[in-house]
Structure 1
């Protein structure tokens, strides 16, 4: 199987992946206890599916008992510009780098399916596979660490000495017996860059995340109004947050994304808050067709935009907020009134 594994790595590279590693389904025995502690602390917020599927997420063998090997793949989406530059332009909205281009779920899954098909042909009759890209209860980051691709840094994201931390992950579960790789070791040292830069202090301790304070969670997963104490800390981040990723020193080794579909669409590099606030449902769907942003819907997105408008300090944007004060969605209307009040006092 060593020869098969070497050919697998070469084929993964040919498909566009930047790293490939293998582990066993039982390679992450530490995850159930870590996940239980996270859930017991309530740090998952409204993400109830983490509770409901905890047994599977903590035990890959339970997800598919027939699996004998897990192939983890990583693909770089490193941006070609400073993702924090727009913090100095409060009239513009900041969209997380991963969401500025084509939805990575679609791109990575197609690559995985092609690679899985190749594996079936190479490993022989009877080989079975299942592919996953962030849409099933799979602990991708711990599995990628177990497969030697990288380690979970103090910001809890995966990072690598070869790729930095701008990576998408995918998994192929297979019945084929493939020799596992040695797990990666942690190389964060005494660095605290990612912890110290967090605008909302979302890290209770290194390697721990309270999602309820994370801007990515608040702008994407959290339904309804955001706590007023946290709203000013969102700044002009309207979908996700890249601060902890952007400051990681290991990014000096990061590779620029090879996949053109991950490059930022022109209209999402520095979008005007005033324009985004005017989106109705149809315009929102049209603008974000093929984008992961589409998943949160117009109401949550415009809510985020209004928080950014309130944080802009630009009195010229007050009429935009006032115009949405009676929006049919309660969270949008609340955000609009909050933004208008802040700008009135600016």
Structure 2
């Protein structure tokens, strides 16, 4: 499959790379890292990054402005996105050929070519593997591509702490750190927090509820976000604030926005991605996202999480 993807990239002069909505470092890292890889080996090609830009990820990359007519003549590659609903910028439908590269459990089997590897720690790790098809040289990435892919791997492995981290993950991380970029500067930017977010984290630690089943829950209504002067995206950055809590099996953050309540699900063992999938979301067995439209629906989701934890 990697060779087939490489041949398609080689054949097209215009390539547009997408990723999922509400992006994280792996979404940006794999998307922008792939662009850097292609530009290095095929500088004559036009490669674009599609999707709404997330200001919190400016330190990794920025998205491109893409005219509508470019899509009809382009190869489309979607990184790090399990289901069609979560592809950022639906103009991908206008493309001539679609490739899916992802490491999540498959939700929608889309794409003319599809490479899904649920054993990979991240889609950025998969792009590292794909890079071997571009050249047999020991170093076939640019410094910038290495920085982006390293950031994506670090983000999706929780700094190499999550169970998805494998020997292969460490191999590719070892390859990437041979390039010239500042690991400490990257870490500083990835994990920087504002005073408002730190104060919100203090509130979360003092208000988290842990049920007898081992299910934890945090409620962050709009009024609470306004009180602390933070956004829903800010709140997402502290979803693991109490992950080391003894007796905790899985937990959920309910974060209210204007017209929806965002759901952040995390687990230390029980699989929660199917639960997320039944509430308009998806993700990994131990880290998923979803959304509900009312607090009553949030209560139903919490009850189901309670059941999952009670039986595990």
Give the TM interval when normalised to the shorter protein.
under 0.3
- Return the structure number with greater strand share: 2
Structure-2-length-normalised TM-score: 0.27
TM-score (ref. length: structure 1): 0.25
Q: Which has the higher helix share?
A: 1
Q: Highest relative contact order (Cα 8 Å, sep 6+), 1 or 2?
A: 1
Please say which structure displays the higher CA radius of gyration. Answer: 1
